Structure 1
Amino acid sequence: MTRIPYKTALIIGAGVGISASLTRMLSGAGLKVALAARDTAKLEALTAQTGARAFAADAADPASMASLFPQVDEAIGEPEIVIYNASARAHGPIADVDPEAFRKSLSITAFGGFLAAQQAARRMIPKGSGAIFFTGASASVKGFALSSAFATGKFGLRGLAQSVARELGPKGVHVAHFVIDGAVESERRATPADSPDSFLSPDAIAQTYIDVLSQARSAWSLEVELRPWVEKF
């Protein structure tokens, strides 16, 4: 297995997809892992399997995020890896989208990323090391019809990642943004039998995160795009 130069990790917006694959890989590599989600009940099987610790948190609430990090610090040590995987949608025509639903989507998808990065930076800067990763989507680089809220949030998260990378990279903190450009396979959404490999495997995505974590600082990636071989650009 590729060597990961860190000992602790926090995944925010944890669930049963990409973050579950990451949890298994990071735990399997010997790291202590903390998972944050609004509903921790859905993480019970994963924590039992991996030994990861679960914490209830609202990614878009400054008080909740300010409380989460000290809890993680005490439970597993200050997280040397922070992965922001939370997002929300408000699908519909621009003339009809509920403003509060749009606000909520933007708050979770982008503002929460800022809150996570801020807490992570306060811990990583003094040490001169660490990694902050953001999970993006197709909507990070191309806005689709009926998806204005999600595109706004993901565009914002990408801009945040670029800005934070340029600020913290010279201080020893690796910041990267991952464009997940395509549908991700899950228990509820299997790859179509007549189109093999047309969905991204969450394990394959997680392996790419692991590979980027292992990069030498003389050749750090800022952005990685991942898509199935049949996906149109």
Structure 2
Amino acid sequence: MSELSNSSAPTAWIAGVGASAGLGAALARRFAHEGYTVILTGRTTSRVDTIAAEIRAQGGHAVTAAADVTNEAQIAQIAAQVREQGTLRSAIFNAGNAVRAPTLELETAQFEQAWRTNVLGGFVFARAALPLLLDAPDATTAPTGAGSLIFTGATASLRGRPPFAAFASAKAGLRSLSQSLAREFSPRGVHVAHVVIDGGIDGERLRSAAPQRVSDAGPDGLLHIDAIAESYWQLHRQNRSAWTQEIDLRPWREPF
């Protein structure tokens, strides 16, 4: 773990940080802007290091912790280091594996990997983060509770269709996990929320893989990463008397 933090600041741990023009990075920037020390977990060390450097250049505090979210030992080690950074106030699971293939061409290994990244990874991350959130000294008395545990979902969380059988089943599993955790830990002061991203995200992944879709979408036809990040921040700051368990975000032109 590369360390540069302010131990007196609240912290936010974000798993699923990749490209600078991606949602994970936007979430990190948003929380850092509010004075949080952000812990960035992603699969590629060079990418999380780049984003951390960008945050530091803007005066923020960032810590990098590259890992595979499905690796229990790696995530447990990071959790121990997160505890040293200060009081964890938000844990965000943004990892995903959008496997795309017709069902008869879908390999068992691909199906399993989608489940491992989205569902098992979400469970491993949540199990590591929850004790840190529950340790907040004002877990049951603060207006916003102990903090937030937020999961990134997708259209596929609610509706399965080809060629996304693996992705849809995995995202549906993650949604169910978030509901189970909300019912168990909300009474203990942790705000567990699931965000359905219902539309294309205007980021590096879509611009590289489907530039024509970006062009066809038109003005504000895709979700802006900073606008999504703002919604996560507002979820995190909700008063505990009116918590949202699930929210869906979509561009104004997106059919649903």
TM-score by length of 1: 0.92
Residue 71 of structure 1 is matched in structure 2 by 81
Residue 201 of structure 2 is matched in structure 1 by 184
- In the alignment, which of 95, 98, 101 is matched to residue 86 of structure 1? 95
Alpha-carbon distance between aligned partners in 2 of 1:59 and 1:122, rounded to the nearest angstrom: 17
Residues 75 and 125, structure 2, Cα contact 8 Å, conserved in 1:
yes
Residue 57 of structure 1 is matched in structure 2 by 67
Q: Deviations over 1:115-140 (max 9, x none)?
A: 11111122223432121000001111
Counterparts in 2 of 1:120 and 1:44: CA distance versus 1, 3 Å:
closer
Q: Secondary structure at the match of 2:201?
A: coil
- Superposed CA RMSD in Å reads 1.6
Counterparts in 2 of 1:126 and 1:47: CA distance versus 1, 3 Å:
closer
Q: Unpaired runs of 5+ in structure 2?
A: 1-8, 57-61, 140-145
Alpha-carbon offset, residue 25 of structure 1: 1.3
Alpha-carbon offset, residue 193 of structure 1: 6.5
Alpha-carbon distance between aligned partners in 2 of 1:78 and 1:120, rounded to the nearest angstrom: 11
Q: Deviations over 1:83-114 (max 9, x none)?
A: 00001133212122111121111100111101
Residue 179 of structure 2 is matched in structure 1 by 162
Alpha-carbon distance between aligned partners in 1 of 2:78 and 2:161, rounded to the nearest angstrom: 34
Q: How does 1:3-152 map to 2 (within 5 A)?
A: 7-16=10-19, 17-51=22-56, 52-74=62-84, 76-127=85-136, 128=139, 129-152=146-169
Q: Share of identical aligned residues, percent?
A: 40
Matched, 1:209 2:232: yes
Residue 226 of structure 1 is matched in structure 2 by 249
Q: Secondary structure at the match of 1:136?
A: strand
Q: Secondary structure at the match of 1:178?
A: strand
Q: Unpaired runs of 5+ in structure 1?
A: 1-5
Aligned AA (1:229): W
Alpha-carbon distance between aligned partners in 1 of 2:26 and 2:99, rounded to the nearest angstrom: 26
Residue 3 of structure 1 is matched in structure 2 by none
Alpha-carbon distance between aligned partners in 2 of 1:89 and 1:209, rounded to the nearest angstrom: 21
After alignment, is 119-128 or 163-172 more displaced?
119-128
TM-score by length of 2: 0.84
Alpha-carbon distance between aligned partners in 1 of 2:93 and 2:196, rounded to the nearest angstrom: 13
Alpha-carbon offset, residue 61 of structure 1: 1.5
Residue 3 of structure 2 is matched in structure 1 by none
Aligned AA (1:50): I
Q: Secondary structure at the match of 1:95?
A: helix
Alpha-carbon offset, residue 78 of structure 1: 4.4
Alpha-carbon offset, residue 79 of structure 1: 2.3
- In the alignment, which of 203, 211, 220 is matched to residue 197 of structure 1? 220
Aligned AA (2:93): Y
Alpha-carbon offset, residue 29 of structure 1: 0.9
How many residues in Structure 1 have an aligned counterpart in Structure 2?
A: 227
